[in-house]
Every structure is written in structure tokens, then in C-alpha cells.
Chain A
Amino acid sequence: MTAVAAPEKPRTGRVAPTAGLRRPRRFGKALLYLALVAGAVPTLLPFVWLVRSALMQDAQMFTAPPEWIPAPFQWSNFTEALTAQPFWLYFVNTVVIAVISVLGTVLTCSIAAFSFSRLRWRGRNVVFAVLLSGVMLPYAVTLIPTFAMWQQLGALDSIIPLTVPSWFAGAGGGVFNVFLLRQFFLTIPFELDEAAYIDGASPWRVFWTVVMPLSRPAIVVVTIFTFIGTWNDFLGPLLYLTDEDKYTLSLGLASFQSVFITQWGYLMAASAAVIAPIIALFFFLQRYFIEGITLTGIKN
């Protein structure tokens, strides 16, 4: 490895005391928990609402004023909603698209962001501005030309239009990710790069062994956003897929709700089931938001 090793967070069982952050006193701690609880009540509301609706009969869901405890617990909403359509197939289809998109986005967006933040080349900021302009035009007017383009390329009814752009720095909306990573890369001390270059490292090596390991929180953010974005995407699959065997979860969800009939119980149960995996994903990934990854020792 190069001279500048990626700093690691302490792996000992004990949590290193946060230097500088004095342990909050008892009173402060109580205040902290109070704030957390006060904030959690409104933020839990939509989720609790969803879950209680998922377990209710349609009529109970809409009583006025609303009821909170399902009576009876309508567990059959889940079994029936999830068997009304081939949800397992939709799940697999969706996971495939999401995983390909996340890999492509994380890799290519961080490469691009490295170039736009830590390498100096003429025209850099202009190019960046042009890329960014791509997200300023409402999609409604680029949708048809984009569709025509995929059609011309013979890529309709495949996952190509849904995944390939993500391997080009998430073309389109993915530019936000380049921007996000750029902002994070800019906060990493430049002395680290310089030290590596003096040791003869190439920019790729600096990117891979210095910047990337220090940017885990930002990469986690991009991963979460891309995964959720793909998971919930409705319009993309709707436009580009025709074969029902290729349908995704969001298309399956939509068919519980139509102009004339909405099967509320099924819709809510299926919605709850569909978001469960992304809740789990967030729960596991958020632990990478740990202080102290950025090496500061270099200045000592």
C-alpha cells in the first residue's frame, strides 16, 4: 500500500471517548432524550398510520375520527395482497435493477466527483455546470425524446434504459450524486493527496486509497438514495417495460389503486411490505455515519 494508509475507525470494543465533546451532563442527557421523543412522535405518525391501515378492513380505515387499533386485525390483507400478483417475481426484478444501478452510480459518480473536486484541469467548472444543468429541465418534456432514443436503440422492454444510464455517472438525475460527492471530497484535507503524489502515487491511486476510504458516509448516502430511488421508481418501468414478467414492485402496487376502485387494505399492506426491505437497508447502512473517519492526525 501507499504511504498514506486509509485511516480506520477504532475497532476496539470500547468506544473511543469523543474528544472535545464533553460527556453531556445528566440534565443535558435528559433534555436530549426528550427532544428525541418529541421529534419521534410526528415522524413516526405516517409509518404508524400505514401499518395500522395495512391491518384494517377498508371501512375502519376511514372512520371519523380515526381509529388506531385494528379491530379485527386483518392479517389477510398481507397474505391476499401479496398473492394477488406475482410479487416475488417483481421483488427479484426490482432488486436486480436496484443493485445494478447502485453499483454503477456509486462507482462512476465518485470517479467523476474526484475529477471535479481534486484534479485541476481547464474547463472543469464549466463542464460541471453544464452537467448540472441537466437536472434543471423538467422531465416531462425530455421524456418522449428519451423514449424515442431507447426505441431507436432497440432497448425497449428491457432493463437497459433503467440501468445503463447509472453507469455513466447516473446520467440525468444522477448528477446530483456527482455534486454531492464533490462537496464531500472538497472537505478532505488536500495535504493527503499531496503526500501521496510526492510518494509517486497516480491520481487513480489517490482516489481509491485516500479519498474513497475517507468518504464512506457520503458513499452510503449515495447508495441509500440510489437504491430507494430505483426501488420506488414508477414511471421508468412503466414506460420501458411491456412484458408483465419484467414488472417491478411499484407497478404491482399501482394496480391496487385504479380510477374506479381502490383496494385500500391490499394497497396499504402491500405498501408496508414493499418498504420493509428499504427500512432494513437504511437501518444497516446508517451505522456508517460514524464520527472520526476523517483522519486528523496528519496535522498533529
Chain B
Amino acid sequence: MGSILIDQGLEPGTPPEKWNVSHPEKIQKIHLDYFNAGSDAVLTNTFGGSRMKLTAHKHGHSTEKYNQKAVELAREICPENCFIAGDIGPSGAFLPPVGTASVSNFEENFLEQAGYLADADIDFFFIETMVDLKEAEVAVKAVKSVSKIPIFASITFQKTKRGYFTIMGDTVPNCVKTLEKAGANVIGANCTISSDEMIDLIPLISQETILPVLAKPNAGKPQLEKGKTVYLTEPKPFAQDIEQIIKNGASVVGGCCGSNPEFIKEIAKQVKGE
């Protein structure tokens, strides 16, 4: 969603969630394109829709409106047998020593957003792109306390010389166990790493849990290689990687930064035979 909004002219400094109110037809069109491409579920345009994140953009006062409207837009065009996921991304702030936020700041932040999304009739929660396990854990618990619908929780890992870790140094087993204990129903990884790296990461997650595993790798994220910017993945090879990711244990798949409905179409073609 984010990459597409930027392509469509989202101005720097404007939170994408503002478009739920100012450009509702564009948001709906994007959702519809995904459903038509074969998506079973779409994420509401609320990734940065928590008060802390919106306040950084000076839009904190619109938190309730942006979240409500986001769900409304997706619900209006959601086909039968398809689903709407209430998207929750990071607060943008960090705990010490990296930042100055507190656990109670996080709690308050996610309780509020989860409340709006739950009231607005979503099918499940999608907590994603969490680079700090503690923040993810707080978010899952907050959601759990306001709603009984399923919670998907997804961590952003990076590949280091010693394997996969969050930027805070959380290991894969620790992330999986902590999220499971917090009450997540589906656990996985998204963003930063590409589809080929995700193939290696997924077994490390699935061996730690009996819960369903989700994978939403980046596609076509610009990368520096020998001083040149290269776009790594096209829809077809991406979908081939997704097939392998499924064989390796993932049962919920999709695309993160750089992907678009074309990627989903390829996945649907290869995985569901559509």
C-alpha cells in the first residue's frame, strides 16, 4: 500500500492514513486491485495510524477518524469470503537506551488504535514490521485486551553474519515464544528481507511453534550492490520463492515494500492455480 501511495503522489510529510479521508476512492481502488489479483485478505491503510506515529506527523488529532474510515473503505468493497485485516505498525518511538519511550506509552498507544479498529468491524488484527520484540509483545497484549478476534504478529528481522536477528538483537526463537505467550494466533516475519532470504528464515520460525506462520517479504526494494542500485525481484521469481516459503512452513503469504497487485496475481497463479 505505502509504495503505491507514494507512486500515486502522496506528498512527503503527509501520513498515508490521511488519504483515507482525502482520497478515499484511491484507497478503495488499491484494495479492489488486490482482491481482483487474488488476495484473500487486505490490510487497512492504518499502518502508521497509531496516535504516537500520527502525532509525529502532526495528525494525532485525527487518529480515530483515520482508523474508522480505513476500515469503512475496505469493508465497502470486500468480496464475500474475503477478509479485512486491521493493520498496526510500530509507534516510531524506541525504548531506552535507543530512545526515550516507555512501555506504558506503547500500551496506551496500541490500546487506543486497537479499540478503534475492533469497533470498526475488522476480521483480524495484523501487527507488523516490529523491529523491537518488546513493542510487538505490548501491542499483542493490548489488542488481546480489547478484542477476541485473531491476532497476526509479524517481526522484522535482518540477516547478520550470525544469522537472523531484530535490530535490537532479539533471536528468532525468543520472538516466536514471546509472541505466542502474549497471545498471537499467527506468527511470522515481514519487511527488510527479500523473498529468497525469507525461504531460509521461515523454517527457523516454524520449528519453534505449532501456530500458523506468516511471511511477507520485500520485493524490488532498491539495494546497493557494488555502488549500483538494483531492484532485486520481479513478480514471477518472487512468486516462485513464495512457493518455496510455503513448502518451508508458511501458510499465510503476501508482499511487503516494493510489491504490488502484480506480485499477488503471480502468487495466486502459482499457489492457487488461478
A binds B: no
Binding site for B on A (CB under 8 A): none
